[in-house]
């Protein structure tokens, strides 16, 4: 095309290459559209697993009445559902903790949203049945490597009640196409409303167990270790928001300009997004630009008059239908999970 040389597009932001960790350029995409596969954030614990013929067979065993081995070609023929699901890394916004923590310094792009299609996990568990006393379901990914001196696979468990939730699914499509290799081909567990570690990629085996699963990604990583020495597992996404426009420290044009962004929560829906220009003394409501009742995420905007030469501090906080509101300060925890303090930016009008 004649004018192709003038085309401009955003790219993933590289955080590490081994393993590959790259974040979505969240300030430069609209969440009104599902995030394109090539801009979906990539978060890996190990190098990418090799695809073999065995990768297409899913095994379900452990405390079941009858174990199951089922092939990709059979799974895609079963009754399936499609949901718009937000997947957000538990470490999203880690770089923003004022008291710094070690680990990947994710800014605000370790999250992406799109349409996942798959078969409810429940469908498979109804087929296998389960023994009395099953408490958890363990999910194994094909990705593996050395963790704390041991060779392990990426493995996570869900409480049995959550595993039976009708929206928890074994997905095989993203945005209408087979899931790409980097995001779990051929199967990825999808757990809506939970941070991304629960949505196990390259799913290969599922075990039903009666004891507490204690793998390193369950009891060492993905645990909030608080200052007072208590701890708590990382589960659902916290209520959160991001200002996409303007950018922090941007020189904005004077006159009426739009302030816009996104808000999301793990349980319930977003009920309110508020904006303050005086560090939280007064709040005004932003408008919703997407329906609040269907999706976990909303786009919001607010029109503001900027006067040339003035400096503006802009704070935004979201509240969800369960009454939870973003705090002014982050809840510090040793591994830096679940950052969800209200976002503050400073801009100057030209």
Q: Which residues bind a second copy (CB under 8 A)?
A: 3, 5-6, 8-14, 16-18, 20, 22, 25, 27-28, 47-48, 50-51, 100-103, 105, 180-182, 185, 247-251, 346-348
User: Which is closer to a second copy, CB of 249 or CB of 323?
Assistant: 249
Shortest approach of a second copy to residue 200 CB, angstroms? 18
- The residue (of 243 and 347) whose beta carbon lies closer to a second copy is 347
Closest CB to a second copy among residues 157, 333: 333
SS3 139: strand
Q: Taking a C-beta distance cutoff of 8 angstroms, is the pair 172, 197 a contact? A: no
Reading the block at residue 138, the tokens are: 């363990």
**CB atoms closer than 10 angstroms to residue 350:** 11
Q: How far is the CB of 184 from a second copy (least distance, A)?
A: 12
Rounded to an integer, what distance in angstroms lies between the CA atom of residue 299 and that of residue 52?
41
CB of 347 to a second copy, least distance (A): 7
**Token couple for 71:** 């092939």
Q: At its nearest, how many Å lie between a second copy and the CB of residue 254? A: 11
Please say whether the beta carbons of 285 and 273 come within 8 A. yes
Closest by CA to 59, choosing from 72, 46, 48, is 72
Q: In this complex, which beta carbon is closest to a second copy, that of residue 184 or of residue 193? A: 184
The helix (H) or strand (E) run that includes residue 121 is helix 121-128
For residues 8 and 77, which CB has a smaller minimum distance to a second copy in the complex? 8
Question: What minimum distance in Å lies between the beta carbon of 204 and a second copy?
Answer: 17
The residue among 6 and 256 lying less far from a second copy, judged by its C-beta, is: 6
CB atoms within 10 A of CB 141: 23
Compute the least distance from the CB of residue 67 to a second copy, in Å: 30
248 near 311, Cβ under 8 Å? no
Q: Identify which of residues 282 and 310 has a Cβ nearer to a second copy in the complex.
A: 310
Nearest distance from residue 11's CB to a second copy, in Å? Answer: 4
The DSSP secondary-structure symbol of 149 reads T
From CA 109, how far away is CA 196, in angstroms rounded?
A: 13
- Judged by CB, which is closer to a second copy: 13, or 61? 13
The full 3-state SS of 306-345, as one line of letters, equals: ECCCCEEEEEEEEEECCCCECCCCCCCECCCCCCCCCEEE
Residue pair 330/95 in contact (Cβ under 8 Å)? The answer is no
Dist. CA 99–CA 154, nearest whole Å: 29
Closest approach of a second copy to the CB of residue 96, in Å: 12
């Amino acid at each position: 095309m004649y004018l192709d040389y003038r085309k401009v597009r955003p790219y993933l932001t590289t955080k590490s290459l081994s393993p590959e960790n790259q974040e979505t350029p969240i300030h430069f995409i609209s969440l009104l559209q599902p995030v394109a596969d090539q801009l979906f954030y990539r978060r890996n614990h190990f190098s990418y697993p090799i695809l073999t013929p065995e990768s297409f067979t899913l095994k379900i065993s452990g405390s079941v009445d009858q174990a199951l081995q089922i092939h990709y070609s059979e799974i895609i023929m079963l009754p399936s559902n499609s949901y718009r699901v937000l997947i957000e890394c538990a470490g999203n916004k880690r770089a923003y903790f004022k008291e710094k923590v070690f680990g990947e310094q994710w800014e605000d792009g370790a999250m992406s949203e799109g349409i996942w299609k798959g078969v409810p996990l429940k469908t498979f568990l109804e087929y296998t049945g389960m023994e009395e006393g099953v408490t958890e379901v363990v999910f194994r990914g094909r990705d593996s490597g050395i963790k704390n001196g041991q060779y392990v696979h990426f493995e996570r468990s869900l409480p049995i009640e959550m595993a039976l939730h009708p929206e928890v699914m074994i997905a095989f499509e993203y945005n209408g196409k087979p899931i790409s290799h980097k995001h779990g081909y051929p199967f990825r567990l999808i757990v809506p409303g939970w941070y991304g570690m629960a949505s196990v990629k390259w799913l290969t085996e599922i075990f039903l167990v009666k004891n507490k699963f204690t793998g390193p990604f369950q009891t060492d990583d993905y645990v909030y270790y608080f200052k007072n020495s208590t701890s708590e597992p990382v589960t659902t996404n916290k209520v959160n928001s991001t200002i996409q426009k303007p950018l922090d420290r941007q020189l904005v044009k004077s006159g009426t300009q739009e302030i816009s962004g996104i808000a999301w929560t793990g349980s319930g829906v977003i009920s309110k997004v508020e904006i303050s220009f005086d560090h939280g003394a007064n709040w005004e409501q932003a408008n919703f630009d997407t329906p609040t009742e269907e999706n976990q995420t909303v786009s919001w905007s607010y029109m503001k008059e900027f006067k040339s030469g003035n400096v503006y501090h802009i704070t935004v906080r979201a509240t969800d239908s369960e009454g939870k509101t973003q705090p002014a300060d982050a809840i510090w925890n040793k591994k830096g999970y679940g950052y969800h303090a209200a976002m503050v930016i400073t801009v100057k009008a030209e």
